[in-house]
Amino acid sequence: MNPIGTEPYIVLSMVLFLMGALGVLMRRNAILLFMSVELMLNSANLALVAFAREWGQVNGHVFVFFVMTVAAAEVAIGLALIVNIFRERQSINIDELRQMQG
């Protein structure tokens, strides 16, 4: 049996989530922003898998599976948007995308 409990995994997941959140807030490159979001999704997945083992239920794995699917769809759409924005404005700095502000 695995001697490591659930808590270390949760702490690691927390640290990774915070790093992802920091990346979203501080980086201005849209692609890096997306990568930080992926990091956050991954840390949430890690917590789900750790809890699935804690409770001996496979349902957590199923949720991770769904999160991965949604992440794949999100990345496909997001990167297509980024490509279009870059073609129009020659920049993917999200601070320069402000025309919605009026």
DSSP 61: H
Scanning residues 4 to 23, which ones bind another protein (CB under 8 A)?
Answer: 4, 7-12, 14-23
Contact 76, 32 (CB under 8 A): no
- Tell me the one-letter amino acid at 20: G
Min CB(99)–another protein separation in Å: 14
**Residue 2 is a binding residue for another protein (CB under 8 A):** yes
Using CA atoms, how far apart are residues 70 and 33, in angstroms rounded to an integer?
Answer: 17
Min CB(100)–another protein separation in Å: 15
Scanning residues 77 to 96, which ones bind another protein (CB under 8 A)?
Answer: 77, 79-84, 86-88, 91-93, 95
Min CB(45)–another protein separation in Å: 7
What is the distance of C-alpha 73 from the center of its chain? 12
Cβ contacts of residue 41 below 8 Å, gap of 6+? Answer: 67, 71
**Residue 44 is a binding residue for another protein (CB under 8 A):** no
